[in-house]
Structure 1
Amino acid sequence: MQIENSTTHDIAEIFRLYEIATDFQKTKYSVHWPKFELSLIETEIKENRQWKIIINGQVACIWATTFSDPQIWEEKNLDPAIYIHRIATNPDFRGQNLVGIIIKWAKEYAKANGKRFVRLDTVGENEGLIQHYQKFGFDFLGLYELSNTDQLPAHYHHKPVSLFEMQI
């Protein structure tokens, strides 16, 4: 197993995994991911913020990171944190604790970059995800109404977000 940055060669697979995740979300939740812009993924790749887990030569999971997330975290964005977005798992690798692997990696990555928190969010009040992230050591900070969503993907518009953080 390896964790490495995604490359432009991974774009088709990234979008395939997003589509699978979105289709799953549609069967379980009222809020699901929109179709993401190619330019967003290209920027993340260029800035080394799009990641992947490789197992036996296959992309098992993807996610994106940033060190700044002001529209979601507002005044808390001033804290030194890494923010994780859009975890999508290849169905062939479900059940292999990949989120736990990402969290372990994120804590080390945060420390190496002088950050004190690992944070993530999910749109809406999804009890299953809340419990899932708490199981990995995240504190659930509650549901928040965002004041400015104009630069965020469509699924953030007019919906509260569940915020999670882990101090390292």
Structure 2
Amino acid sequence: MAERSRSEGKNLFNMILKATSKDLEQIYKLTKSCAQHLIEQNIFQWNEYYPSQQVLQKDIDLNQIWTIKVENELAGIVVLTEIEDDEYENVKWLTKNKNNLYIHRLAVHPEFQGKGFAQQLMTFAEDFARKNNYKSVRLDTFGENKRNLRFYEKRGYQKLEKIYFPKQSKYPFYCFELVV
């Protein structure tokens, strides 16, 4: 079933739909464009290893990756999952570890950044969590990406503990949670 979301400042409706295998190449290109854009800003959050095509294919296979397109062009993605990553095992979350929605790989193509697409994807995710009776929305973001840190804090997420992904960066990632 398609979900509609209104573009900020525009009268256009953008469709947020589950990704299919035919979207894999576009999704991979989008993540590589985002990784390069971050590196150009000296933000070493994503690299040549992450996210891999295999990770993205698994997201598709598990029906947990959503896309937002503008006139058939991929503008952004977000992964919504119930699967708790091992790195989260020792995090002291605000809610119990039961019935939580996790967000991963929120990405907007550099050409579409600053136009409200990340906001649309997050609003979609939070609405999805409420409609499906999740207790909270959980995520992590790179500690050196100040823009992302402010983005989640402005949306009402509480900044929690640091975790590390050594294959991605020597710097910490911060966990965030929003009780819905």
Q: Which band: TM-score by shorter chain?
A: 0.7 to 0.9
Deviation, structure 1 residue 30: 4.6
Deviation, structure 1 residue 96: 1.6
Query: Is residue 20 of structure 2 the alignment partner of residue 7 of structure 1?
Result: yes
- The question of whether the paired residues in 2 share the 8 Å contact of 1:125 and 1:162 is answered with no
| 2:75 aligned residue (21, 46, 60) | 60
- The question of whether the paired residues in 2 share the 8 Å contact of 1:3 and 1:53 is answered with yes
Deviation, structure 1 residue 66: 1.4
Identify the residue that residue 132 of structure 2 maps to in structure 1: 113
Identify the residue that residue 38 of structure 2 maps to in structure 1: 25
Structure 2: gaps (5+ residues): 1-13
Query: Is residue 141 of structure 2 the alignment partner of residue 126 of structure 1?
Result: no
Query: Is residue 42 of structure 2 the alignment partner of residue 42 of structure 1?
Result: no
% identity of equivalent residues: 25
Q: Deviations over 1:59-98 (max 9, x none)?
A: 1111212112242321447142111111221233222211
**SS of the counterpart of 2:168?**
helix
Structure 1: gaps (5+ residues): none
Deviation, structure 1 residue 123: 2.7
**SS of the counterpart of 1:155?**
coil
Tell me which stretches of 4 or more aligned residues in structure 1 moved more than 6 Å. Answer: none
Pair 165,29 (structure 1): closer, same or farther in 2 beyond 3 Å: farther
Aligned residues: 161
TM-score by length of 1: 0.83
Higher helix share: 1
Work out the CA distance in 2 between the residues paired with 1:70 and 1:40: 13
- The question of whether the paired residues in 1 share the 8 Å contact of 2:77 and 2:121 is answered with no
Work out the CA distance in 2 between the residues paired with 1:53 and 1:38: 19
Alignment of 1:127-142 (within 5 A): 127-141=146-160
